[in-house]
Amino acid sequence: MTTPTEDKIVTLLTRSITEIIDGAHLRERLERGDVLTVKFGVDPTSPHLHIGRMVPLLKLRDFQELGHKIVLLVGNATGVIGDTSDKDAERPMLTEDAVAANMKSYVAQAGKVLDMDRVEVVYNADWLNALGFKEIGELAGAFSVHEFIQRDNIKRRLDAGKRVSLREVLYPLMQGYDSVHLHADVEVGGTDQRFNMLAGRTLQPLFDQQPQDVVMTELILGTDGRKMSSSWGNTINLTDEPRTMFGKVMSIPDELIVPYFTHCTRVPMADVAAMEAGMADDSVHPRDAKIRLAKELVTLLHDADAADAEERYFVETFSKGVAPTDAEVLAVADGEPLVDVLVRAGLANSKSDARRKIQQGGVKINDQKITDVAQTLTKEQNNSILKVGKKAFRKLSV
């Protein structure tokens, strides 16, 4: 019989985990009851955190529930420089004003998952901007150019003749020095952050610190099965309203149900396994699994009452395929192209996606199928109901 603490340690070390360095050392410290300083950094490159960030945030909550010190690092210095870890091209530098605007609500968004009363929030411009060439040179001396250019995405770019800027080489130094400044015992991050987090392990001994343990979490795909990206519109944001969040979950491909349950919720894994088996033998309908998933996410990021309300709304409205009486009002301009409207309203990921939906008969106005991709909206369609697929309704205001 395991104790509750042992169960939490097992969950911390296994759920959503791809790799831990050094796993044996971390387990020993957890079992010994050491209070660890656990660091997680996020660069404010967008105003919204999406549920891809929930995977490490939930891992922080696992640490938090065991009594460890959580440090949420907002990268207002690293965000300006730009992380190249998962990019196939050079990321442009952001302005300090853009970074400041993006990070305004990050603490509140993280508070949807963490108890922020027990989180230390720090901003790395406070120490990184104070470094001079001497200090940066000393940090750079710990790494070789060869190590940097052997990273998969950098090697691909170089092999393809694409530009790799010297600025990009600085990013791992900055993230590694964050761990030095914070005296981090553990750093949590996605698998794309492996090189950057190992930089902390390289630098800390130079400052007479024990190397941090590195906990790498799974990356999840976006709602359309591609890489999750705000620019593609395939994210579920922590700031989404309950109805939007519920609807996005109901639209995901069936193959994402189990990964989302596993990595973005704390539904017991035995329940997740039973659900997976049920979908495999057709005793559980994927739609019902998605409803439960949607309720779990809305409950976690909003509350249980909102989750119950959105389940009723979905079942009574979308499952029956009728327009809701309180459909969201969508303001459009007289003569505005329908393709543009679908993209602007988030009903299509791109203009090509919008055209495809129209051509496939998935767009209706007042239950009349629209097949002309050049269709524009006019004043005569004021108060009409725009329907996209089986689940998305908007009341047009022209």
Give the angle subtended at the CA of 328 by the CAs of 295 and 45, to the nearest 5°: 65
The CATH number of the domain where 354 resides is what?
Answer: 3.10.290.10
| Mean pLDDT of the 322-349 span | 83
Measured distance CA(303)–CA(242) in Å, rounded: 9
If asked whether residues 281 and 348 sit together in one domain, one would say no
The CATH number of the domain where 58 resides is what?
Answer: 3.40.50.620
Query: 151: pLDDT confidence band, cut at 50, 70 and 90?
Result: confident
| Mean pLDDT of the 186-202 span | 95
Structural domains counted in the chain: 3
Domain stop point among 286, 318, 350: 318
Long-range residue pairs from 309-317, CB within 8 A, at least 24 positions apart, any chain: 309/242, 310/242, 310/243, 310/245, 310/246, 311/246, 313/243, 313/246, 314/246, 314/247, 314/250, 314/391, 315/291, 317/393
If asked whether residues 138 and 15 sit together in one domain, one would say yes
pLDDT at 1 over 60: no
In the chain, the amino acid numbered 54 is M
Q: Is residue 224 part of a domain?
A: no
If asked whether residues 72 and 160 sit together in one domain, one would say yes
If asked whether residues 281 and 333 sit together in one domain, one would say no
Domain stop point among 318, 339, 363: 318
Q: Is residue 232 part of a domain?
A: no
Give the model's pLDDT for residue 18: 97
If asked whether residues 171 and 314 sit together in one domain, one would say no
Render pLDDT for 24-82 as a digit per residue (tens, 0 to 9): 999 999 999 999 999 999 998 888 899 999 999 999 999 999 999 999 999 999 988 88
Q: Return the half-sphere exposure (C-beta side, CA atoms, 13 A cut-off) of residue 196.
A: 26
Token pair belonging to 255: 């193959």
Q: Is residue 131 part of a domain?
A: yes
* Lowest-confidence region among 66-70, 120-124, 226-230, 256-260: 226-230
Render pLDDT for 374-393 as a digit per residue (tens, 0 to 9): 999 988 888 788 989 876 78
Which range, 87-101, 225-239, 285-299, 370-384, has the best average confidence (pLDDT)? 285-299
If asked whether residues 168 and 278 sit together in one domain, one would say no
Cis peptide before 22 (omega within 30 of 0): yes
If asked whether residues 186 and 255 sit together in one domain, one would say no
Q: Where are the beta strands (DSSP E) in the chain?
A: 17-21, 37-42, 69-74, 119-123, 186-190, 213-217, 328-331, 336-337, 363-365, 368-369, 376-377, 385-388, 392-397
If asked whether residues 13 and 33 sit together in one domain, one would say yes
User: Which residues constitute the domain of residue 339?
Assistant: 328-397
The CATH number of the domain where 295 resides is what?
Answer: 1.10.240.10
pLDDT at 397 over 90: no
Q: Which residue has the tokens 């990009």?
A: 168
Nearest residue to 396 via CA among 383, 387, 380: 383
The answer to whether 240 and 248 have CB atoms below 8 angstroms apart is yes
If asked whether residues 313 and 344 sit together in one domain, one would say no
If asked whether residues 294 and 353 sit together in one domain, one would say no
If asked whether residues 138 and 111 sit together in one domain, one would say yes
Average pLDDT score over the chain: 90
Domain stop point among 283, 318, 353: 318
If asked whether residues 131 and 213 sit together in one domain, one would say yes
Measured distance CA(295)–CA(389) in Å, rounded: 21
